[in-house]
Amino acid sequence: MLTHNRADLLKQCVENVLLRTSDATREIVIWDNGSTDDTQAYLATVTDPRIRVIRSEANVGHNGYARAFRETTSAYMVELDDDVVSAPPHWDRMLLDAFKRLPEVGFLAADIEDDPHDEASHWRHHIRAHEYSPLVHNGINLLVGPTGGGCAMTSREANERAGGFVERDDEVFWLEDGVYIEALQKAGYGAAVLADLVVHHTGGAHYTTSSKEKEEFWRRYWARKARREAVKKVLVRVPFVRSLNARFGWFVAP
């Protein structure tokens, strides 16, 4: 788990998520990305012997995943956002048992509650809900669709085959889960959501302030998206482009 200047959310995540893990979880790394709030003081009070805190003096952002996972030895690994503030008891065992029965899946994520104040939840339940398809595979209830890394399991074997987690010298925040899933897919693995495991995610402005690096990433992201949409609107006005695109799937029509 990575954290940066979100001590209040971190406390909920530790006490309502990490400390609700089963004995299947034997090592927990909390990577503190140079927090300047009460994060260090709170983590000093955590006594669970499985928890190891690593402090980076600089905020290395999502690069922390690759560095933190190198500090672990387990065959199965979970990445967890510090704004996941509640999960059912022994949620890790649920993920592990399902993951072991899904050899084709390299990234298995928990679903998230419908929280009207959470941005990820809003996209999951109200904007992109139609993109999820239920699937029962090997007795496991799955949702096949956009899969995020808020609370998700991968294996060391799949991770190594996919080339590990990406590190970037020039960026602190990027869509690392999407980049990792693309690498897994190239290695022959899929990604899915475990429908029977639901956690509470509390990201977004209602709950917390965003880092300047994250805000800058999303500013560039939406600017690029707007430019692409403008280009597509011009293209589909060209005779036959819309019909040809519908046939060959060059791009998602505006």
CA-CA distance, 107 to 33, in Å (whole number)? 24
Q: How confident is the model at residue 220 (pLDDT cuts 50, 70, 90)?
A: low
Q: What tokens appear for 78 in the block?
A: 């979970």
Give the single-character DSSP code of 150: S
* pLDDT of 129 higher than 80: yes
Least confident stretch, 99-108, 130-139, 214-223: 214-223
CA-CA distance, 58 to 90, in Å (whole number)? 33
Q: What is the pLDDT of residues 40-81, one digit of tens each?
A: 999 999 999 999 999 999 888 889 999 999 999 999 999 999
Mean pLDDT of 7-16: 96
Which residue did the predictor score with more confidence, 121 or 214? Answer: 121
Residue 252: predicted pLDDT:
73
* pLDDT of 216 higher than 70: no
Residue 49: predicted pLDDT:
96
CA-CA distance, 111 to 199, in Å (whole number)? 6
Rg (the chain; Cα; Å) = 19
What is the reported pTM? 0.82
Q: What is the pLDDT of residues 131-184, one digit of tens each?
A: 999 999 999 999 999 998 899 999 999 999 999 998 888 777 767 888 899 999
Q: Report the share of the chain in percent with pLDDT over 90.
A: 69
Contact partners, residue 132, CB within 8 Å, separation at least 6: 143, 144, 145, 146, 193
Return mean pLDDT, the chain.
89
Which CATH architecture is the domain 2-201 placed in?
Alpha-Beta Complex (3.90)
Q: Highest-confidence range of 40-44, 219-223, 240-244, 247-251, by mean pLDDT?
A: 40-44
Starting at the edge strand that comes first in sequence, how are the strands of the sheet with 51-56 ordered?
2-3, 28-33, 51-56
Residue 25: predicted pLDDT:
97
Residue 171: predicted pLDDT:
79
CA-CA distance, 2 to 9, in Å (whole number)? 12
* pLDDT of 245 higher than 90: no
Q: What tokens appear for 12 in the block?
A: 């909920």
* pLDDT of 219 higher than 80: no
Residue 237: predicted pLDDT:
81
* pLDDT of 218 higher than 70: no
* pLDDT of 244 higher than 80: no
Residue 211: predicted pLDDT:
67
CA-CA distance, 36 to 14, in Å (whole number)? 18
